[in-house]
Protein backbone atom coordinates (compact mmCIF):
# COMPACT_ATOMS: atom_id res chain seq x y z
CA UNK A 1 0.00 0.00 0.00
CA UNK A 2 1.12 3.55 -0.64
CA UNK A 3 0.88 6.44 1.79
CA UNK A 4 -2.91 6.34 1.55
CA UNK A 5 -4.48 3.18 2.96
CA UNK A 6 -7.14 3.19 0.21
CA UNK A 7 -4.76 3.52 -2.74
CA UNK A 8 -3.02 0.34 -3.92
CA UNK A 9 0.68 0.53 -4.66
CA UNK A 10 1.49 1.01 -8.34
CA UNK A 11 4.56 -1.17 -7.99
CA UNK A 12 4.16 -4.63 -9.45
CA UNK A 13 4.55 -7.47 -6.99
CA UNK A 14 7.81 -9.36 -7.46
CA UNK A 15 7.42 -12.41 -9.67
CA UNK A 16 9.82 -15.15 -10.60
CA UNK A 17 8.00 -16.13 -13.80
CA UNK A 18 5.32 -14.87 -16.19
CA UNK A 19 2.83 -16.80 -18.34
CA UNK A 20 3.46 -17.53 -22.01
CA UNK A 21 0.61 -18.11 -24.44
CA UNK A 22 0.72 -21.47 -26.15
CA UNK A 23 -2.57 -22.42 -27.84
CA UNK A 24 -1.45 -26.00 -28.52
CA UNK A 25 -1.32 -26.74 -24.78
CA UNK A 26 -4.99 -26.36 -23.82
CA UNK A 27 -5.66 -28.31 -20.67
CA UNK A 28 -1.96 -28.29 -19.75
CA UNK A 29 -0.26 -26.05 -17.18
CA UNK A 30 0.49 -22.58 -18.54
CA UNK A 31 4.09 -22.30 -19.78
CA UNK A 32 6.21 -19.77 -17.88
CA UNK A 33 9.16 -17.50 -18.68
CA UNK A 34 11.61 -16.00 -16.19
CA UNK A 35 10.95 -12.41 -15.14
CA UNK A 36 14.16 -10.97 -16.69
CA UNK A 37 13.45 -11.91 -20.32
CA UNK A 38 9.73 -11.16 -19.93
CA UNK A 39 10.39 -7.65 -18.64
CA UNK A 40 13.00 -7.08 -21.38
CA UNK A 41 10.37 -8.07 -23.96
CA UNK A 42 7.86 -5.77 -22.26
CA UNK A 43 10.33 -2.88 -22.48
CA UNK A 44 10.46 -3.30 -26.27
CA UNK A 45 6.67 -3.73 -26.44
CA UNK A 46 6.21 -0.42 -24.61
CA UNK A 47 8.62 1.36 -26.94
CA UNK A 48 6.99 -0.03 -30.09
CA UNK A 49 3.30 0.00 -29.13
CA UNK A 50 3.15 2.32 -26.11
CA UNK A 51 2.94 1.39 -22.47
CA UNK A 52 -0.22 0.16 -20.82
CA UNK A 53 -1.73 3.42 -19.68
CA UNK A 54 -4.11 2.24 -17.00
CA UNK A 55 -2.97 0.53 -13.83
CA UNK A 56 -5.63 -2.16 -14.39
CA UNK A 57 -4.24 -2.98 -17.86
CA UNK A 58 -0.65 -3.01 -16.61
CA UNK A 59 -1.50 -5.19 -13.62
CA UNK A 60 -3.45 -7.62 -15.85
CA UNK A 61 -0.51 -7.94 -18.21
CA UNK A 62 2.00 -8.44 -15.40
CA UNK A 63 -0.19 -10.89 -13.54
CA UNK A 64 -1.21 -12.83 -16.62
CA UNK A 65 -4.89 -11.86 -16.59
CA UNK A 66 -4.61 -10.10 -19.95
CA UNK A 67 -4.40 -12.62 -22.80
CA UNK A 68 -2.23 -14.86 -20.63
CA UNK A 69 1.04 -13.04 -21.29
CA UNK A 70 3.02 -12.69 -24.50
CA UNK A 71 2.90 -15.37 -27.14
CA UNK A 72 6.04 -17.29 -28.04
CA UNK A 73 6.40 -15.36 -31.31
CA UNK A 74 6.07 -12.03 -29.51
CA UNK A 75 8.79 -12.98 -27.04
CA UNK A 76 11.07 -14.01 -29.91
CA UNK A 77 10.40 -10.78 -31.83
CA UNK A 78 10.78 -8.44 -28.85
CA UNK A 79 13.95 -10.06 -27.53
CA UNK A 80 15.44 -10.13 -31.04
CA UNK A 81 14.70 -6.42 -31.44
CA UNK A 82 16.20 -5.62 -28.05
CA UNK A 83 19.62 -6.77 -29.25
CA UNK A 84 19.73 -3.70 -31.55
CA UNK A 85 19.89 0.01 -30.71
CA UNK A 86 16.55 1.29 -29.39
CA UNK A 87 15.88 3.46 -32.43
CA UNK A 88 15.77 0.25 -34.53
CA UNK A 89 13.38 -1.68 -32.27
CA UNK A 90 10.22 -1.03 -34.33
CA UNK A 91 11.95 -2.05 -37.57
CA UNK A 92 13.42 -5.18 -35.94
CA UNK A 93 10.10 -6.26 -34.41
CA UNK A 94 8.47 -5.94 -37.84
CA UNK A 95 11.38 -7.86 -39.38
CA UNK A 96 11.01 -10.67 -36.85
CA UNK A 97 7.24 -10.96 -37.36
CA UNK A 98 7.52 -10.94 -41.15
CA UNK A 99 7.13 -14.50 -42.33
CA UNK A 100 7.11 -15.94 -38.81
CA UNK A 101 5.49 -19.37 -38.68
CA UNK A 102 5.33 -21.09 -35.32
CA UNK A 103 3.10 -23.94 -36.48
CA UNK A 104 6.04 -26.01 -37.68
Per domain, the residue ranges of the chain are 17-21+32-97
The whole-model pTM stands at 0.68
Cβ neighbours, 10 Å, residue 3 = 6
What are the CA-CA distances from residue 48 to residues 12, 21, 51, 55 (Å)? 21, 20, 9, 19
pLDDT recorded at residue 50: 86
Encode 17-36: b = buried (16+ Cβ within 10 Å), e = exposed. Answer: ebbbbeeeeeeeeeeebebe
20-51 tens-digit pLDDT: 776 666 677 778 888 889 889 989 999 999 87
pLDDT recorded at residue 6: 43
Q: Alpha carbon 34 to chain centroid distance?
A: 11
Amino acid sequence: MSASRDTPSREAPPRATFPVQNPKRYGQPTPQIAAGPYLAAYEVYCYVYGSQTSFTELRAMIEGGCRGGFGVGEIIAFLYARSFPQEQWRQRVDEAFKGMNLDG
